Amino acid sequence: MTPIPVILDCDPGHDDAFALLLAAAHPAVDLLAITTVAGNAPVGKTALNARRVCTVAGIGGVPVAAGLARPLHGAGITAPEIHGASGLDGPGFGEPAVPLDPRDAITLIRETLLGHPGPVTLVPTGPLSNIAAFLLAHPELAAERVDRIVLMGGSTGRGNRTPAAEFNIAADPEAADIVFSSGLDVTMIGLNVSHQVPASAEVLTRLRALGTPLAEVCADLLTFYGAAYREVFGLAAPPLHDPLTVAHLVAPGLVSTVPAAVAVELTGTHTRGATVVDLDGVTGRPANARVGTGVDAAAFWDLIVDAVRTLGARGPLTG
């Protein structure tokens, strides 16, 4: 089977890091480029973190570019309470062996699409600022060369940044509205799915049992991330949101989805950034997305552990 060409747009971010690992490790994905966006941390830090993850995981030859430093409208938000001041607290990282691409994210997306022989899948796991900016700047190229967008964001239920809004959407609601209104094939994997995959103590045990430096880094990441989720949300184990996007690509059916009309609330005093998902078709609006509803959690964790095992066996980049 021909690997799926993917551009990962992320804000690492502990869970973004695992999305990156899975995308790089799995044979069903051809990871063409990594773009970063302001979200969990300022964009300079998310770009550095993407380079750090590529270095420790031995992911070479994939360009990493930094994108928008703020949302399309208003001031940005970050999540140091979850990801730490660096955006990737927990393990110690040395100097990255992966350079920052001199192009900005939108240019890298454009040139990657133009340079690839066929359509490419965009996998956003952070605020949708870069994706929206690309769609606004290059609508024809997007229509011609973007196969689908599989994003982590939103929720069919409660939010996590506010009671109504999930972080990625809350960070840039206008960008999310542009993506959901684009007419492209959009899949939304939200909190209602990601909270079905908490990174339990058993997962950490499986990772540490791999016995590689990368596995230790991954376990240390999840240890920090888990402590943050216990502190902030009182959860026993942290949901590993972002790699569900890649898992959905490599294992169709692992995440179950239904077609639905998704609207992004832009003006609500208490609800701005909410994804209003019409699961029952009561609005009469046509479906504009496939919305995640369930996941095979055991299969998901097998994919994660296998990815760490695969990359750990290769070793880190050494500059």
- Is 244 near ligand RIB (CB under 6 A)? no
Residue 53 contacts residue 21 (beta carbons within 8 Å): yes
Q: Which of 14, 26, 83, 241 is catalytic?
A: 241
SS3 221: helix
Q: Which is nearer to ligand RIB, 93 or 119 (CB)?
A: 93
- Is 11 near Ca ion (CB under 5 A)? yes
C-alpha to C-alpha distance for 199 and 269, rounded to whole angstroms: 34
Residues 31-50 within binding reach of ligand RIB (CB under 6 A): 39-40
Q: Which is nearer to Ca ion, 13 or 58 (CB)?
A: 13
Q: Report the residue closest to ligand RIB, judged by CB.
A: 167
Instruction: State both tokens at 298.
Output: 């055991």
- Is 212 near Ca ion (CB under 5 A)? no
C-alpha to C-alpha distance for 302 and 52, rounded to whole angstroms: 24
Stretch binding ligand RIB (CB under 6 A), from 26-34, 161-169, 245-253, 300-308:
161-169
Phi, psi angle pair for 219, to nearest 5°:
-65, -40
Choose, by CB under 6 A, the member of 63, 67, 90, 126 that binds ligand RIB.
Answer: 126
Q: Which is nearer to Ca ion, 37 or 219 (CB)?
A: 37
Stretch binding ligand RIB (CB under 6 A), from 47-55, 69-77, 162-170, 293-301:
162-170
- Find tokens 């990737």 and name the residue: 88
Residue 97 contacts residue 67 (beta carbons within 8 Å): no
- Is 9 near Ca ion (CB under 5 A)? no
Residue 152 contacts residue 245 (beta carbons within 8 Å): yes
- Is 71 near Ca ion (CB under 5 A)? no
Choose, by CB under 5 A, the member of 5, 6, 7, 16 that binds Ca ion.
Answer: 16
Active site residue 73: no
Q: How many residues bind ligand RIB (CB under 6 A)?
A: 15
C-alpha to C-alpha distance for 298 and 281, rounded to whole angstroms: 31
Residue 195 contacts residue 244 (beta carbons within 8 Å): no
Residue 222 contacts residue 214 (beta carbons within 8 Å): no
- Is 16 near ligand RIB (CB under 6 A)? yes
Query: Rg of the Cα trace of the chain?
Result: 18
- Is 239 near Ca ion (CB under 5 A)? no
Helices (DSSP H) in the chain: which residue ranges? 14-25, 43-57, 80-83, 105-115, 129-137, 139-145, 167-171, 173-180, 191-194, 201-210, 213-233, 243-250, 297-314
Stretch binding ligand RIB (CB under 6 A), from 159-167, 215-223, 263-271, 298-306:
159-167
Shortest CB 234 distance to ligand RIB, Å: 16
Q: What residues make contact with ligand RIB under the rule CB under 6 A?
A: 11, 13, 15-16, 39-40, 125-126, 152, 160, 166-168, 241-242
Q: What residues make contact with Ca ion under the rule CB under 5 A?
A: 11, 13, 16, 125-126, 242
